[in-house]
Structure 1
Amino acid sequence: MTGIERIGVVGCGLMGAGIAEVCARAGLPVTVVERDAQAARAGRLRITRSLDRATARGRLTAERREATAARITVVDQIEALQDRDLVIEAVAEDERLKADVFARLDDAVTSAHTVLATNTSAIPVIRLAAATGRPEHVVGVHFFNPVPVLRLVELVPSLLTSADTVARAETFVTRRLGKEVVRTSDRAGFVVNALLVPYLLAAIRMAESGTASVEDIDRGMVLGCAHPLGPLALTDLIGLDTTRAIAESLYAEFREPQYAPPPLLSRMVEAGLLGRKSGRGFHRYDEQPQRETAPPG
């Protein structure tokens, strides 16, 4: 079983930047690919700001912050990933975009032992693996936002993923990154989102029907159930566009009403009210909007 030492990440939005950061914190060299030079600069800035916040809060020393930043290279050419041991796709939650990335990785990555991983929240892994000529090397490695803080990773092999690929991915996540792994079969939503998203959609329907205000729905679950965030604040953190995409993937696979996106969710996404990353969702936010980026072109 070949070890994983050189990491590639495709996409430097909220998730891609977080994945690159935790890999670099673990002492690994990371190459991140964005669609163009402007997006690469924005991605680098996103990583820098995250490292600065961690340093200001005492989670990183100044020395370790500099060493971590030095391990990360952000470029706009997918060919830069040709010699990576592991490449993690972290573009927007859109099946066509992700499949296109995997098709391009199949051409760009020349190492025969490279693990190709997807950070998809809900899309069945086999659909993305089918875009490559090496489905045995493709596996789901689903991190949670914010990646530097949350310890869980869902490990999702498809029907064609080899045992060696699964073992290498799990060893990397647990031993190198210090994360906890849950294994799940290759079904839409996996474990966490299959349980979480119906709850979030129920809260949106409650707000939509006027049963209770957004503030009272969130306060009810924080104070009544000891949740750290209410469901609508959590939807803002995840991103309303991402929540809708996960719901659509779940509904397409299972056709159960609880998975169908409520009209209010769709209207808000169409209006650009995406949550924290756009500065406004169910709540308003003062921080600088951080939009997800499209895959590298």
Structure 2
Amino acid sequence: MTIQTIGVVGAGSMGSGIANLAAINGFTVVLHDIEERFLDNAIQRMNGFMAKSVARGKMTEEDQQKALARIRTTTHLEDMKEADVVIEAVLENLELKKEIFSKLDRIVAEGVILATNTSSMSITEIASATNRPERVAGMHFFNPAQLMKLVEVVRGYRTSDETVNELKALSKQLSKESVEVKKDSPGFIVNRIMIPQFIEAIKLLEEGVASAEDIDKAVTLGLNYPMGPFTLQDFAGVDIGYHVMEYFKQELNNDQYAPPLLLKQLVRAGRLGKKTGAGFYEYE
């Protein structure tokens, strides 16, 4: 199937990044969210990202305007009927994703791939909400999607070889490198390795072994990571890490993935309305 129009459901930081990436690479994009204000914020984020690229000489103002012109925003999920492939990037809530996939299954043409940007959740279960499980797969981008080179292409239990190959080819067209996750396992590759590192870093902080600043410094300088575990968790949101750990614990039936007490406390503090949101550096 020739892919010309990419639908993106969810206009948050990941969804807007994926939409921007697709438009920059010449695809027509239909970007959906439930309210216009979310879509307006997404366009502002894209404009801000591209303005920085123009300032650095990475793209021209003409390229910026052409990319924006390729993006149509909508609050009507039915507009996804125009898409040759749809990438879902809503909240990490399994029931919400299944609800969206069930609706998309009835909207888009037969044979259209429905991909999810989930970082950890079961592709097989999401696909069960459709009548096309062989055309459902994971397509996990990393934040910011415009810059991070990796895409995890994830098989569900019934995902076809054709679907996997088409998503690998699409990743290449989006200037990304893809890896194939051959088995639908929680966290896929990157998060399965990263989450235990987060947990150990939090435990070191809890035990008073070192400060968050020095743990981050040790990891960036000692392991040559671009940022430390606490900087990364604060950037992504401690609530996301918490929910992923809880999901791992449940799905893998292993308490080693349980979120540490300090993480639970920070998430609760954030829910109590701290203006900046709870984070490890804020905790210190």
Please indicate, yes or no, whether the TM-score normalized by the shorter chain is above 0.5: yes
Kindly tell me the number of residue pairs found equivalent between the two proteins. Answer: 278
Question: What is the letter of the counterpart of residue 103 of structure 2?
Answer: R
Structure 2 unmatched ranges of 5 or more: none
Backbone CA RMSD of aligned residues:
1.7
Residue among 172, 175, 178 paired with 2:175: 178
1:202-217 paired onto structure 2 within 5 Å: 202-217=200-215
Q: Within the alignment, does 1:250 sit opposite 2:239 as a pair?
A: no
C-alpha displacement at 1:71, in angstroms?
0.9
- When residues 121 and 43 of structure 1 are mapped into structure 2, their CA distance, relative to the original with a 3 A threshold, is same
State the SS of the aligned residue for 1:181. strand
Q: Deviations over 1:24-54 (max 9, x none)?
A: 1110000110011222222222222222222
Question: What is the letter of the counterpart of residue 250 of structure 2?
Answer: A
1:190-205 paired onto structure 2 within 5 Å: 190-205=188-203
Q: Deviations over 1:143-179 (max 9, x none)?
A: 11111111100011111112221121111111x1121
Question: What is the letter of the counterpart of residue 180 of structure 2?
Answer: R
Question: What is the letter of the counterpart of residue 179 of structure 1?
Answer: K
What is the aligned partner in structure 1 of residue 66 from structure 2? 67
Q: Which portions of structure 1, spanning 4 or more consecutive aligned residues, are displaced by more than 3 angstroms?
A: 277-280
Residue among 138, 141, 163 paired with 1:140: 138
Please say if residues 189 and 249 of structure 1, whose CA atoms lie closer than 8 Å, have aligned partners that are also in contact. no
Please say if residues 122 and 190 of structure 1, whose CA atoms lie closer than 8 Å, have aligned partners that are also in contact. yes
C-alpha displacement at 1:272, in angstroms?
2.1
What is the aligned partner in structure 2 of residue 100 from structure 1? 99
1:98-137 paired onto structure 2 within 5 Å: 98-109=97-108, 111-137=109-135
1:74-85 paired onto structure 2 within 5 Å: 74-85=73-84
Question: What is the letter of the counterpart of residue 267 of structure 2?
Answer: V
Question: What is the letter of the counterpart of residue 138 of structure 1?
Answer: V
* Range moving further from structure 2, 261-270 or 187-196: 261-270
Q: Distance in 2 between matches of 1:62 and 1:20?
A: 18
Please say if residues 18 and 146 of structure 1, whose CA atoms lie closer than 8 Å, have aligned partners that are also in contact. yes
Q: Distance in 1 between matches of 2:100 and 2:196?
A: 29
Please say if residues 116 and 137 of structure 2, whose CA atoms lie closer than 8 Å, have aligned partners that are also in contact. yes
What is the aligned partner in structure 2 of residue 295 from structure 1? none
Q: Deviations over 1:64-86 (max 9, x none)?
A: 11111111112111011012111
State the SS of the aligned residue for 1:178. coil
What percent of counterpart residues are identical?
40
Structure 1 unmatched ranges of 5 or more: 285-297
State the SS of the aligned residue for 2:82. coil
Question: What is the letter of the counterpart of residue 163 of structure 1?
Answer: D
Q: Deviations over 1:161-216 (max 9, x none)?
A: 12221121111111x11211111121101011100110011111211222211111
* Range moving further from structure 2, 178-187 or 43-52: 43-52
What is the aligned partner in structure 2 of residue 235 from structure 1? 233
C-alpha displacement at 1:282, in angstroms?
1.7
Q: Distance in 2 between matches of 1:283 and 1:58?
A: 34
Please say if residues 154 and 180 of structure 2, whose CA atoms lie closer than 8 Å, have aligned partners that are also in contact. yes
Q: Distance in 1 between matches of 2:276 and 2:50?
A: 21
Please say if residues 188 and 250 of structure 1, whose CA atoms lie closer than 8 Å, have aligned partners that are also in contact. yes
What is the aligned partner in structure 1 of residue 51 from structure 2? 52
Please say if residues 43 and 74 of structure 1, whose CA atoms lie closer than 8 Å, have aligned partners that are also in contact. no
Q: Distance in 1 between matches of 2:264 and 2:162?
A: 41
Q: Deviations over 1:200-254 (max 9, x none)?
A: 1111121122221111111111222222111111112222122122212211121
Q: Within the alignment, does 1:150 sit opposite 2:144 as a pair?
A: no
